Amino acid sequence: MTIIEADYADIFAGKPDQLGARTQDLGAAADAIAEATNALNDLVDGQKSDAIDAISSVAVETRSALTGAERRYRGTAAALKEFAIALAPIQATARRAIESAQYYEKQTYSIQSGLSKNQNDTTRAEALGQPTDDLRDEYLQLNRRLGTAMQSVEDARKTLHTARDDIRTAADRAIAAIETAIADGADSFADNWNQFWGGVGDVFAAIGKWVGEVLTVVVSKLIDIIAAVLGVLLVVLMLVFAIVAAIALIGVLLVAPELLIPMLLSVAAVVALFVATLVAIRVASDVQKLTPTVRPYKPDHVVEASGLDGVFNEAGSVDVEGGADKTVVKIEKIVQADGTVSWRVVLPSTQDWQALASTMSGKDFELFQAMKDSGAVNDVDSNMALVLFPSLRTQYERATLEAMDQAGIKGGPNGDPVMLVGFSQGGILAGHLAAYRSNDYNFGAVVVCGAPIDNMPIPDRTRVISVQHEGDPVPQLDFFTPPPTRPNWQTITDTAPGNPTDVAQIHQIDQYDGTLEKHLPDLGDVHDLDHFFGGSTSYTETEYYAWQE
């Protein structure tokens, strides 16, 4: 799926042929209801007896309900038919616009390559003292063609925007018609709900989608609140237990000192149980939530990397772009002159420390607010899940894969080569994806710093460059696993610039950037990674994507 296809995929969500078939089914159901109503009329009308009188009131109510149901079915069928008739030509126009945009986008790549070659030929001719008039004419012609192609792509996008608006207008008309049909024949809220969504909602999903979205948001918020409440209860219980344990330890120390060590071991076991339970609750609250909505994002500042020496600057920039409010990733597409495509995906580190806010900041945080989870998904919860439970799929992981899909990266182990870049938690996710999702994408390289990835089963086909500072506790979170000694894996270990006892300086992206630049010669030949960066003979497209809980 290309980028433009992903951008306008919603236009093709509705299926006019299926809507037409369902319209016929609803019409047939309305006819059957009408026949049942007539049969009931014939059964009751004209009959006189005590038995008939006894059931006549029930029959009248039943007949009224059948009449209302018939109106609902016929009204819904008419609305669906009108929508299906409007949808088909809109989608046909949109498909032609997609094809036009794809055609001219390919032309722009070819023309860009031609311009680059023209400039090289011109430079060579000038150096040799040869005439350049023909090359100048060719340059002007290529520029005009490029302008025409880019304008054609823009015109196609305008057509697609119009198609999207036309579909929404038609959908609004259909929704209004269906709401009128339901209101006119309403028996009860439950009756309307069950009959409409049970009989129509499965087909008319494009119109009814908003209901599901509202409900899923509510469920997601409930999960967050429940996790927060349970977390608060555990913290309160831990505080109560700590007070009781302290009193008990003092008593044991005064009365029976020989029981102090068993008592301390018991307290440690209970504390460990509390902590494990709290971690399980926080992790579950993350992995049980729905994948956040991923949207294209316009960054305040774009930081480009022309080679390995700039990748950690990119990682720092996405941290700044997203902060604690949202998660931002950068995805760059690199198209070589021969048409081959590679990608570089830059992942942010932990920015949302809300779950630990009350212990990590001097600010006055309410305990309940601290335990709630909102904002960026590159947070403490997903950190714990990635390190402790790699088989679970966090919001961070799922949304990142969704962003890669939206960008148009060709998936599968033989798809487009992808380089993953990350610092700290961004590096953890980079290693995690390469190790556990290698069938989803062709992860050709992983470049990380300050990340505990040494024990991750990253396949041999993925080149790994990991930078670690001595004294940085974060890379040791993989239980002090030593760096692998494999042909595809290179680990740079050095003391951090600055104060070697200041953890805040040791685990810092700018310091890691300096360490990588210092040790680039130690990596040997890195030309196999050149295709992950733009150059004089390549064309690049940069997209940013953002999401939040």
- CB neighbours of residue 417 within 10 Å: 22
pLDDT at 5 over 80: no
Residue 346, strand partner residues: 330, 421
**Alpha carbon 229 to chain centroid distance?**
27
**Phi/psi of residue 373, nearest 5 degrees:** -120, 120
Residue 308 CB partners (closer than 8 Å, separation 6+): 447, 465, 516, 520, 523, 526, 529
Closest by CA position to 185, among listed 290, 70, 41: 70
Question: DSSP E strands: which ranges in 102-260?
Answer: none
DSSP at 352? B
Residue 478 CA to residue 476 CA, distance in Å, equals: 5
Over residues 345-355, the pLDDT tens digits come to: 999 998 866 54
Instruction: Give residue-wise pLDDT tens across range 418-452.
Output: 999 999 999 999 999 999 999 999 999 999 999 99
Summarize pLDDT for 503-538 with one digit per residue, the tens: 778 999 999 999 999 999 999 999 999 999 998 888
Tens digit of each residue's pLDDT (9 = 90 or more) over 10-62: 777 665 555 555 555 555 555 555 555 555 455 445 444 444 444 444 445 55
Helix, strand, coil content of the chain in percent (nearest 5): 65, 10, 25
Determine the Cα–Cα distance for residues 370 and 368; give it in Å rounded to an integer: 5
Report pLDDT for 547. Answer: 94
Query: Residue 104's pLDDT is what?
Result: 86
Q: For the range 203-208, what are the long-range contacts, defined as Cβ-Cβ under 8 Å and sequence gap of 24 or more?
A: 203/18, 203/19, 203/22, 203/80, 204/19, 204/22, 204/80, 204/83, 204/174, 204/178, 205/13, 206/13, 206/14, 206/171, 207/83, 207/171, 207/174, 207/175, 207/178
The alpha helices in 372-488, defined as continuous H runs, are 380-388, 395-407, 425-436
Task: Tell me how far apart the alpha carbons of residues 398 and 187 are, in angstroms, rounded to a whole number.
Answer: 43
Per DSSP, 325 falls in state T
The strand order across the sheet containing 442-449 reads 295-297, 538-547, 327-336, 341-347, 417-423, 442-449, 463-469, 489-494
